[in-house]
Structure 1
Amino acid sequence: MLENRQKNKSLRYRTGIEKLIYAQLSFQRQNNFFHSDSHEKRIMNAIKDGNINDLISYLKHPSIEGVGTLSKSSALRNKKNLAICGVTLATRAAIEGGVQLEQAYTMSDLYIQHVESLSEVVEIDQFLTAVFIEFAHHVHFQKQNKYSKVVTSCQTYIAQHLYAKCSISNIAKMNRLNPIYLCQLFKNEVGISLREYIQQQKIEEAKRLLISTSYSLTDICTYLHFTDQSYFTKVFKKFVGITPKQYRNTY
């Protein structure tokens, strides 16, 4: 009973916050303070559809119209307010795209908390780009996920441990299966080996970091637990066709 009351209280709080944010967005649009509706819709539709490539393209070519003003007292505060609006809209788009309500709201809460912790305008811009791509990635995963419970469990574990070593033995232990049997099962369903899938997902994360952050190649290699930068570059080129440096310069 207490748990239900807490959930209802949390839901009422979130609903109130969302009403406030949407009221702010409505005010902006009425006064031409926000970027164009068409550009915003393209971004949110790309998130809702899980279309990561289109989303990246839209984010690379922002609207030429001015962005809104939610705070006249501080450029940093204004950027944070706009970012929170962006996270809220992206959360709604992800839910419409099929991401579970609880998962989307949990992500939203964490992202908004992180926005508040940032101290530079450029950091907020970079982080919001990463947030949009991450929501689109989750929608894409949700739409494509038609595998067995065991394989889905493996994919979820890998997605949650991209910044760890993520060994096959640990994944097998989690599923209480023999590693050899698990690898055979995974390849039969997904079409690539479990080891290749782990590498593929880490490279997808590396691509997002290369686009949305200023982290060095050495940092990204370390964060994603590749043994060294040479090996990281080799694996990256295997999946993407170009080196990490070429990818960053291209996008």
Structure 2
Amino acid sequence: MEEHPDWAPGNIDLTTPSAARVYDYFLGGAHNFAPDREMARRILELHPSAETNAQANRAFLHRAVRYLVQQGIRQFVDLGSGIPTVGNVHEIAQREAPDARVVYVDLDPIAVAHSELILHDVGNATVINADLRNPHDVLSDPRLTGLIDFSEPVAFLMVAVLHFIPESDRPEEAIAAYHRVAAPGSHLVLSHGYDARLDQVPGAGSLDEKLEGKGQEVLGVYRSANPITVRTRGRVQELLDGWPLVDPGLVWVPQWRPDWPDEVGVDPSSSYVIAGVGRKP
């Protein structure tokens, strides 16, 4: 049994794996524990590219933040930010624009606790413990209102988080609430797990049933610790309603404005994540 680290809240059960800490492990972070690493091992056995997929998603986040800074965005709200690892939003944004302001939002107390440590001496950046599904709580938090001015454009980031929110929680309503407070010129950055077979396999039945073999097994591993929701490309597109997409639209993460033409790789669909950036007119 690993010792409970000083930075982790004392009431957190570290014997149960967390998708956020598994993601941290895939990104090379140090804020994960034996159950998380065991879950990661099981996923890698079924899906050997899971680690590189996580890294591709992180690289998309970096490119999107740099793009937004180039568009004049100086305010970022990272919803479902997860456990910070190297290359956090504030590091990328403030490197390009030192006056950039960043608010991280996460429900996981471990993610929040570690974020507080990282941000202790960082100006214009903070973290709040809140659920993105409750926009009122997020938007009324004084730590957010002290940094974010909604009369100016803002970027909302929902990167690799919405597939952990079930349809019954109506994620489109939360997204619409953030859209309402956003000034024209604001942006939404979104990435979502996706398997092209969802839109290729005909027939009735649930979306889950369209995934066979290892796809089902990977879902099972994730669902042993966290709920995960399967969505079609069309449904992901619907979640971006009100945020017209900038070029190149909704694409596989390696295809979203790669830094080099050969960066995309042999098969972008192997990333199993689609992404897009929308701009409020």
Q: Tell me if both proteins adopt one fold, taking TM over 0.5 as the criterion.
A: no
The alignment's TM-score, normalised by the length of structure 2, stands at 0.24
Which protein has greater RCO, CA pairs closer than 8 Å, 6+ apart?
Answer: 2
**Which structure features the higher share of strand residues?**
2
Larger radius of gyration: 1
